[in-house]
Amino acid sequence: MCDYSEGEWVRTTTPPPYNGTSCGGGTIKPGQDCISHGRPDTGYLQWRWRPRRCDLPPFSPADFLHAARGRHVAFVGDSLARNQCESLVCLLTSEFPADLIRGSNDGGADRDGNEARKFRRWVFPTHDVTVSVFWSPFLVNGTEKSAAVGGIDHNRLYLDQPDERWAAEVGEIDVVVLSAGHWFLHPAMYYEHGEFIGCHNCPEPNRTDTGFFSVFRLAVRNSLREIITRSTKSQSPKSKLAVVTTFSPAHFEGEWDARNACARAEPYAAGEKEVGFMDREMWKSEAEEVAAAAADAAARRARVRVEALQVTAMAAMRADAHPGPYMSAFPFAAGERERVPNDCVHWCLPGAIDTWNEILLQMVKRWREGDESSSR
Residues involved in catalysis: 79, 343, 346
- Distant-in-sequence, close-in-space partners of 267: CB < 8 Å, separation ≥ 6: 9, 47, 317, 318, 319, 320, 321
CB–CB of 87/355 below 8 Å? no
Positive or negative: CA dihedral 45, 46, 52, 57:
positive
CB–CB of 221/302 below 8 Å? no
Strands 304-309 and 240-245: parallel
- Long-range CB pairs of 252-260 (<8 Å, 24+ gap) are 252/342, 252/344, 253/319, 253/344, 256/341, 256/342, 256/344, 257/339, 257/340, 257/341, 257/342, 258/339, 258/342, 259/325, 259/336, 259/337, 259/338, 259/339, 259/340
Position 361: which residue type? L
In angstroms, the CA 313 to CA 277 distance is 12
- Distant-in-sequence, close-in-space partners of 69: CB < 8 Å, separation ≥ 6: 127, 128, 129
CB–CB of 164/132 below 8 Å? no
Torsion of CA 339, 340, 346, 352, to 10 degrees: -90
- The count of C-alpha atoms lying within 13 angstroms of the C-alpha of 168, restricted to the half-sphere facing its C-beta, is 6
| DSSP SS3 for 92 | helix
CB–CB of 265/320 below 8 Å? yes
The backbone torsions φ and ψ at residue 369, rounded to the nearest 5 degrees and listed phi first, read -65, -40
